[in-house]
Each structure stands twice: as C-alpha cells, then as structure tokens.
C-alpha cells in the first residue's frame, strides 16, 4: 500500500496543529504530534512526562532518544494507517535520520515535507494569543517564546536541508487565512 506520510514543519506558532487537523480529515491520516503526546504524558505524570517537563517549561528540546522512542511506539500502534502527519517532529537532523530508519523498516518513506513559513513578529503574536486560552505555560511567557523560536532557528531549521537533499522539501507561505493556507498545502500534496 502506498502511504501519504507528511512532515508538517515550521516554527512554533506557524499553524501546524490547526492545519494538521484539517489535513487528517481531508486525507484520512493519523496525526502524530510529539508536543501533544508529551503534554499528555505530563498530565498523567508518567516518568517520561516528568523527564520532559524540565525541558518543555524552558522551551528547550526534549532529548532525541526520548522523542524517538515515543514516536516509534505510535507508528507501530497504527499499522493500518493510510499515512501519517508528523507535526512537531522531526525537530533535529538526528530525529529525521531515525524517522527515515523506522519508515524504511515499514517500507513506507516520507512523501513530502511541507514547511510553513511565517514572519517572526506574527509568530510571537499568535503564540501570545493562544496562551491566553490554551493554558499552555510556554505560550504565556514572551522570553520562553523567544527561546523556542531561537531553538527552532538553530537546531530545527537544518531539518529542511535533510529533506531538500531528498527532493522532498516544499516551502508553503504560512500567512493569510486558515483556509487559504490549507489550500496551498493541498495543492502541494496533489502536485
Ligand atoms: P510543540 O507543541 O510542538 O510546540 O512542543 C512543545 C514542547 O515540547 C517543545 O517546546 C519541546 O520542549 C517539546 N517537544 C515537542 N516535540 C519535540 C521534538 N520532536 N523534539 C524535542 N522536543 C520536542
């Protein structure tokens, strides 16, 4: 079976979660958000959650080994999926390499990386707005937001080159209405 495996990429506040929800309905995909999974672990106060907490509250990345192990389990739990949307993962080149290995074992590679591009001022604005009603502590403090954007620029952004080298990178203009951005994403998938 040919699967549609999407890496939905972009800085914090780019709209990955919002667009992932729309894409999974459109293409019947399984949504794997490492941020959501980690917040779930934190809420249930699991060992993994407690370990991740100290990184998340500072806006630092949780160690690769933790995140990679977590994703592997979720892929195995969804053996009959038509495809996956990876949201907030991979966030380092090491994670991207590990994901390629996991998918190679299943014989189903990444189809495309959709990299949403949004200006920094807009990111900060969106995150502070989200922080008001999401209850996410890391969205309520401007210095943590700044750190997450910095971590994105230094550690995460190079993941684009990893997929570009495989001819899978596609930049998507991430400003405008939710539906306009969704249309751009669908167009890139269907091309
Ligand atoms: P997100 O919901 O994607 O913004 O993630 C929230 C926080 O969870 C991040 O600031 C990181 O601390 C952690 N996190 C989520 N995904 C990853 C990942 N793939 N690698 C490392 N840390 C992650």
| Pocket (CB within 6 angstroms of ligand 1) | 12, 34-35, 38, 55-56, 59-62, 67, 88-89, 91, 95, 138, 148
Burial class (CB in 10 A: 0-12, 13-18, 19+), 81: middle
32-35 CB contacts, 8 Å cutoff, 24+ apart: 32/71, 32/74, 32/75, 32/84, 32/85, 32/86, 32/87, 32/89, 33/87, 33/88, 33/89, 34/62, 34/67, 34/70, 34/71, 34/87, 34/88, 34/89, 34/91, 35/87, 35/88
Q: Which domain does 158 fall in, by range?
A: 4-190
Report the number of distinct structural domains present in the chain.
1
Ligand 1 centroid to Cα of residue 88, in Å, is: 6
> Which of 21, 33, 61 gets mutated to test ligand 1 (max ligand atoms within 8 A of its CB)?
61
Ligand 1 centroid to Cα of residue 1, in Å, is: 30
pLDDT of residue 160: 98
pLDDT of residue 173: 98
* 47-56 and 64-76 helices, crossing angle to 10°: 130
Q: What is the pTM of this model?
A: 0.96
CATH number of the domain residue 177 falls in: 3.40.50.300
Distance, in Å, from the CA atom of 22 to the CA atom of 42, rounded to the nearest integer, reads 26
pLDDT of residue 1: 73
pLDDT of residue 133: 87
> Which of 36, 54, 56, 143 gets mutated to test ligand 1 (max ligand atoms within 8 A of its CB)?
56
Given a contact cutoff of 8 angstroms between Cβ atoms, the answer to whether 171 and 185 are in contact is: no
Give the residue numbers marked as catalytic. Answer: 16, 91, 130, 136, 148
Ligand 1 centroid to Cα of residue 70, in Å, is: 12
Which stretches of the chain drop beneath a pLDDT of 50? none
pLDDT of residue 151: 98
pLDDT of residue 2: 85
């Amino acid at each position: 079976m040919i699967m549609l495996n999407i890496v939905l990429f972009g800085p914090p506040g780019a709209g990955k979660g919002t667009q992932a929800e729309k894409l999974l309905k459109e293409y019947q995909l399984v949504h794997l958000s490492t941020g959501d999974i980690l917040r779930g672990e934190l809420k249930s106060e699991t060992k993994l959650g407690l370990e991740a907490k100290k990184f998340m509250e500072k806006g630092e990345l949780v160690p690769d080994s933790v995140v990679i192990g977590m994703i592997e389990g979720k892929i195995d739990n969804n053996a009959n999926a038509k495809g996956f949307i990876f949201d907030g993962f991979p966030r380092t080149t090491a994670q991207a390499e590990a994901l390629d290995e996991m998918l190679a074992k299943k014989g189903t590679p990444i189809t495309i990386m959709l990299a949403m591009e949004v200006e920094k001022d807009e990111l900060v604005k969106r995150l502070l707005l989200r922080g008001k009603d999401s209850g996410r502590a890391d969205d309520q403090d401007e210095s943590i937001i700044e750190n997450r954007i910095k971590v994105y620029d230094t550690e995460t952004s190079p993941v684009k080159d990893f997929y570009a080298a495989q001819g899978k990178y596609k930049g998507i203009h991430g400003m405008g209405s939710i539906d306009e951005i969704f249309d751009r994403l669908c167009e890139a998938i269907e091309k």
